[in-house]
């Protein structure tokens, strides 16, 4: 599924028009009504966090998980996802657009990805943003390819060379 979503975004497909329903399961009326019917003293106890949840799940979860104080490390989920989807991401990142354009140092980017997919990464948030930009750049290329093949005006997304920017600025002010 992840491979389908990533490739669809990279190819410029519009998810608004896709055959997916946008739902909000936590706003499902029977669930909201049930939660509103629970007495307040059952939901909140001054000596215990997530009291109702802990009591409801006591026979289903191991004590270590049931009694932990935190929800875990968010970056851990990203590390696992990166490792699980590495076969999908690696071919895309070998020929990375963010590195080609000089936005990211290729050697450092690859090193950070390798560390993160093995659970030792420190910059998960930055990597997630960089991968998102990579996918976005590829989607622009794909749209550009469709524009060129349709015979429309050729629009380049590459930055203008320094001397072209100066000529353009001079022409617009002169």
Cα→Cα distances 81→23, 113, 143, Å: 23, 12, 28
pTM of the complete model:
0.47
User: Is the CA virtual torsion 87, 88, 90, 95 positive or negative?
Assistant: positive
Q: Tell me, what's the pLDDT at 150?
A: 56
Contact 96, 134 (CB under 8 A): yes
Helix (H, G, I), strand (E, B) or coil at 53: helix
Distance CA 168, CA 174 (A): 10
Q: Which residue has the higher pLDDT, 27 or 147?
A: 27
Condensed to tens digits (0 to 9), the pLDDT of residues 112-130 reads 988 888 888 778 888 889 9
Closest to 50 (Cα-Cα) out of 66, 63, 28, 61: 66
Chain segment 61-74, per-residue pLDDT in tens: 999 888 888 766 66
Question: Alpha helices of 57-156 — where are they, by DSSP H?
Answer: 63-66, 74-84, 86-94, 97-100, 106-117, 124-149
Quote the mean pLDDT of the chain: 77
Q: Considering the chain, what percentage of its residues have pLDDT values greater than 90?
A: 21
Report pLDDT for 167.
Answer: 46
Kindly state the average pLDDT of the residues 104-108.
92
Q: What is the mean pLDDT of residues 82-90?
A: 87
In the numeric block, the tokens 């990375």 are attached to 96
Instruction: Quote the pLDDT of residue 98.
Output: 94
């Amino acid at each position: 599924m992840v491979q389908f979503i990533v490739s669809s975004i990279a190819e410029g497909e519009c998810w608004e028009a896709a055959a997916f329903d946008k739902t909000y399961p936590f706003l499902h009326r029977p669930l909201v009504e049930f939660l509103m019917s629970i007495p307040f003293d059952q939901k909140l106890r001054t000596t215990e966090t997530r009291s109702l949840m802990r009591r409801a799940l006591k026979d289903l979860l191991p004590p270590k998980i049931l009694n932990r104080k935190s929800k875990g490390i968010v970056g851990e989920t990203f590390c696992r996802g990166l490792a699980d989807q590495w076969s999908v991401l690696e071919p895309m990142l070998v020929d990375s657009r963010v590195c080609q354009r000089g936005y990211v140092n290729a050697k450092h980017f690859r090193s950070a990805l390798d560390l993160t997919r093995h659970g030792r990464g420190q910059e998960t948030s930055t990597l997630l943003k960089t991968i998102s930009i990579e996918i976005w750049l590829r989607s622009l290329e794909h749209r550009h390819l469709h524009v060129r093949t349709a015979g429309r005006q050729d629009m380049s997304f590459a930055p203008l060379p320094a001397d072209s920017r100066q000529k353009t600025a001079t022409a617009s002010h002169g």
